[in-house]
Amino acid sequence: ETGVTQSPTHLIKTRGQQVTLRCSSQSGHNTVSWYQQALGQGPQFIFQYYREEENGRGNFPPRFSGLQFPNYSSELNVNALELDDSALYLCASSSQDREQAFFGQGTRLTVV
């Protein structure tokens, strides 16, 4: 049990729709990172938020966006869903860069 919770655990969306995934950080953590893990692959870094500001982004298009709230929980938003967006989305929280990050169990998104 890492204290990082993600919701929902599973969802199915139609191509072209928009989706919001949520992550509740472990208590005391002000940094959250999001990863996309396609089937059979390793996770790929999407972006990180620190104290409500984006402070690092991977090679993902602008239709992937995020928010971090004052309580340090976070959202990942994906617009104009494509079939290739089907994946497990993981978030990880930490207290700062030098501290260990803890991953949630992920949200399995299926785009049909």
* Contact status: 58 vs another protein (CB under 8 A): yes
Lay out the site mask for another protein across 26-45 (x = CB under 8 A, - = otherwise): -----x-x-x----xxxxxx
* Contact status: 60 vs another protein (CB under 8 A): no
How far is 82 from 68, CA to CA, in rounded Å? 24
Give counts: helices (H), strands (E), the chain: 0, 11
Q: Which stretch binds another protein (CB under 8 A): 11-19, 63-71, 72-80, 94-102?
A: 94-102
How far is 44 from 14, CA to CA, in rounded Å? 23
* Contact status: 97 vs another protein (CB under 8 A): yes
How far is 109 from 86, CA to CA, in rounded Å? 5
* Contact status: 66 vs another protein (CB under 8 A): no
* Contact status: 101 vs another protein (CB under 8 A): yes
